[in-house]
Amino acid sequence: MLERGFTLIEVLVTLVILMFGLLGIAGLMAKGQRASFEAFQRQQALALASDMAERILGNRLQAPAYAAGAPIIGPLGTGVSYGDYLNNNIKDCGTLACSTTELAAYDLALWDGLLNGYSESQVVGNARVGGIVNALGCIEDMGDTSGACPAPPSPTTPFTRSIRISVAWQGNEDTFIPTASNCGQGQYTTAASRRLVVLSLMVLQPCP
């Protein structure tokens, strides 16, 4: 009676085929993790931009001061402003009464800290792990309609001011070059690795 079984060559061929299949699955898993991380980064950036939008809406008379505090040429995210807050050089408006100007400086300092990852630190070493990779935040005053205001005094007549809030960060791979804002331009590995989210905000302000 003839008995048949697997030869060593057949087993080796099967193992090679299985190995290539497992490598393909591992590659897909790695690509999926990178895509998931990119989505998480974008979600965090959008949350940071929305946070600043809420702060400006809560202190709308100081909208130009917010833009002056985070310009394209000097974006927040380096931790300098937050360091001033930690050193008590910026008034803590969370516990003390503040003017609208002091509140703007306080908001910008906290936003700088969030961009810089101060929201979460390791227990050992105190390394910052919060936020997103090399985040930078910019606020731009895009113009207003104050030229249409009637002659003063006009206390009940508002005009609109356009504010653009941008958050840039370092992406994993090169994609397209973002053009919606110049925030963070030249600060990352390549122009195509810069990621960007932009929020446009319209703020009502009283005519003078």
**CA distances (Å), origin 54, targets 95, 96, 203, 204, 208:** 19, 20, 11, 14, 24
Q: Does residue 191 fall inside a structural domain? A: yes
Regarding pTM above 0.85, the answer is: no
What mean pLDDT comes out for the span 152-177?
88
3-state DSSP percent of the chain in helix, strand and coil, to 5: 45, 20, 40
pLDDT band at 208 (very low <50, low <70, confident <90, very high): confident
Q: Does residue 29 fall inside a structural domain? A: no
Structural tokens at position 141: 């005053």
Q: Which pLDDT score is estimated for 123?
A: 44
Q: Does residue 24 fall inside a structural domain? A: no
Tell me the sheet residues that pair with 140: 164
What mean pLDDT comes out for the span 46-69?
95
Cα-Cα-Cα-Cα dihedral sign, residues 135, 40, 127, 106? positive
Q: Does residue 75 fall inside a structural domain? A: yes
Q: Does residue 96 fall inside a structural domain? A: yes
CB neighbour class for 49 (10 Å; exposed up to 12, middle 13-18, buried from 19):
buried
Decide if pLDDT at 120 tops 70. no
Q: Does residue 21 fall inside a structural domain? A: no
CB neighbour class for 90 (10 Å; exposed up to 12, middle 13-18, buried from 19):
buried
Tell me the sheet residues that pair with 194: 170
Q: Does residue 14 fall inside a structural domain? A: no
What mean pLDDT comes out for the span 82-101?
94
Angle at 56 between CA 113 and CA 166, to 5 degrees: 60
Structural tokens at position 18: 């299985």
* Structural domain of 103: 35-206
Decide if pLDDT at 119 tops 90. no
Cis peptide before 153 (omega within 30 of 0): yes
pLDDT band at 2 (very low <50, low <70, confident <90, very high): very low
Half-sphere exposure of 13 (CA within 13 A, CB side): 5
- 148/146 Cα distance (integer angstroms): 5
Q: Does residue 15 fall inside a structural domain? A: no
| Tens-digit pLDDT profile for residues 176-198 | 899 999 999 999 999 999 999 99
Question: Domains in the chain: how many in total?
Answer: 1
